[in-house]
């Protein structure tokens, strides 16, 4: 007989989400307005209103392992539609950060890698260094091998060369003046990159 996994609700979690996002998910009365306006529900495993409901139910691991929190584009359509003024986009953002810190296996492997690579570029240079970020992401995500096999790596290199010739890609990173302030912001928010 196959053993069924038991879902253990975490009843302290609603308060934790409130603290990390500044939003009260218990105000939600499941009207579905957020989900009906979200442009990426076609790809999500749980719709935005379901994520909010799962938070209220204490289903911590299910939310943190979902792909939805990573597919959310922070467009804020849901936030503007919510009749209870719940900033769902802010909750999604807080869930991404909690998911990274939790060490759980995330639903979308590549998106957190991209997220961290992007933040690490901002943290060290004060702005995005596209060439370095693309290189780091391609290596970390394992895309380098699959793209090499399919030949798409050469197509991307060709595109990169064309962009470089047009001045759209810089060979070396350019550091901005306010880097110290940016590092301080990272430290203040406890953001790891
Ligand atoms: S729009 Fe607001 S109240 Fe309605 S389901 Fe979404 S979060 Fe809940
Ligand atoms: S912020 Fe995220 S969850 Fe909300 S509508 Fe946009 S993509 Fe959907």
The H-or-E segment that residue 186 falls in is: helix 179-189
pLDDT band, very low/low/confident/very high, at 46 (cuts 50, 70, 90): very high
Q: For 70-127, how does the pLDDT look when each residue is reduced to its tens digit (9 = 90+)?
A: 999 999 999 999 999 999 999 999 999 899 888 888 777 788 888 888 888 888 888 8
- Ligand 1 centre to CA of 96 (Å) is 19
User: Do 25 and 90 contact (CB within 8 A), yes or no?
Assistant: no
Asked whether 75 lines ligand 2 (CB < 6 A), one says: yes
Q: For 22-44, how does the pLDDT look when each residue is reduced to its tens digit (9 = 90+)?
A: 999 999 999 999 999 999 999 99
Nearest CA to ligand 2 atom 4: 78
Opening angle at CA 183, ends 139 and 89, nearest 5: 75
User: Do 107 and 126 contact (CB within 8 A), yes or no?
Assistant: no
- Ligand 2 centre to CA of 38 (Å) is 5
User: Do 182 and 126 contact (CB within 8 A), yes or no?
Assistant: yes
- Ligand 1 centre to CA of 156 (Å) is 41
21 CB-side CA count, 13 A: 25
Residue among 86, 89, 91 whose CB has most ligand 1 atoms within 8 A, to mutate: 86
Residue 3 pLDDT exceeds 60: no
Nearest CA to ligand 1 atom 8: 28
Q: What are the residue boundaries of the structural domains of the chain, listed by start?
A: 13-102, 110-189
Q: What is the pLDDT of residue 83?
A: 97
Asked whether 73 lines ligand 2 (CB < 6 A), one says: yes
- Ligand 1 centre to CA of 76 (Å) is 13
- Ligand 1 centre to CA of 83 (Å) is 7
Taking each helix axis from N to C end, the angle separating 88-102 and 110-125, rounded to the nearest 10 degrees, works out to 90
User: Do 131 and 171 contact (CB within 8 A), yes or no?
Assistant: yes
Question: What is the number of the ligand closest to the CA of 44?
Answer: 2
């Amino acid at each position: 007989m196959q053993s069924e996994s038991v879902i253990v609700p975490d009843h302290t979690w609603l308060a934790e989400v409130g603290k990390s996002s500044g939003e009260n998910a218990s105000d939600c009365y499941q009207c579905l307005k957020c989900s009906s306006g979200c442009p990426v529900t076609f790809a999500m495993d749980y719709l935005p209103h379901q994520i909010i409901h799962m938070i209220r139910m204490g289903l911590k691991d299910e939310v943190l392992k979902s792909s939805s929190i990573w597919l959310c584009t922070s467009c804020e359509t849901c936030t503007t539609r919510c009749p209870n003024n719940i900033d769902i986009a802010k909750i999604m953002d807080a869930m991404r950060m909690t998911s990274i810190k939790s060490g759980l296996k995330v639903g979308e492997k590549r998106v957190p890698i991209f997220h961290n690579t992007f933040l690490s570029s901002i943290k060290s240079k004060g702005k995005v260094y596209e060439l370095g970020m693309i290189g780091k992401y391609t290596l970390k995500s394992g895309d380098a091998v699959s793209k090499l096999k399919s030949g798409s790596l050469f197509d991307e290199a060709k595109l990169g060369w064309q962009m470089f010739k047009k001045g759209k890609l810089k060979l070396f990173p350019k550091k901005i003046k306010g880097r110290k302030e940016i590092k301080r912001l990272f430290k203040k928010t406890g953001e790891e990159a």
